[in-house]
Amino acid sequence: MEIGRKATGGRYKRPKKRKSTGRQSQARIVKLGKTNRRLLRERGGFKKLVLFSEETANVISKGKSKKTLIKTVVETPSNTFLARQNILVKGAIIQTELGKCKITNRPSQEGNVQAVLIE
């Protein structure tokens, strides 16, 4: 048989070459604290504003939005340890000046914190 072929005559598939796009980036953890944002270059030259720490949230209540300070993270349904470390993730319940709110966006991906007031 020819070199590089199976006994049946079929070809062996070459393994794919490792590429820099296949690498995973370091996980971004958004903590409660002084605002820290950075502009990253994404694939295709696109820019993404990412968040590393934040102290304010855009809270929506009764159709109006208001920017308020975040006091603490009360509860995180996805992981209880995240609430203890004051890490802001989607679905986390936060205590603000207006009351308890639920984060509705992904702060590590969008560069801000959006929340809805819990009545």
pTM value is 0.79
Alpha carbon distance 112, 106 (integer Å): 8
Alpha carbon distance 30, 106 (integer Å): 10
Pick the CATH number of 28-117 from 3.10.290.70, 3.40.50.1860, 3.40.50.2300, 3.30.420.40: 3.10.290.70
pLDDT score, position 1: 59
Residue 107 burial class via C-beta count within 10 angstroms: exposed 0-12, middle 13-18, buried 19 and up: buried
Which ranges in the chain belong to alpha helices (H)? Answer: 80-84, 107-110
Q: What is the mean pLDDT for each group of 10 consecutive residues in the chain (119 residues)?
A: 82 87 84 94 90 96 94 94 95 96 94 93
For residues 93 and 101, the answer to whether their CB atoms sit within 8 Å is yes
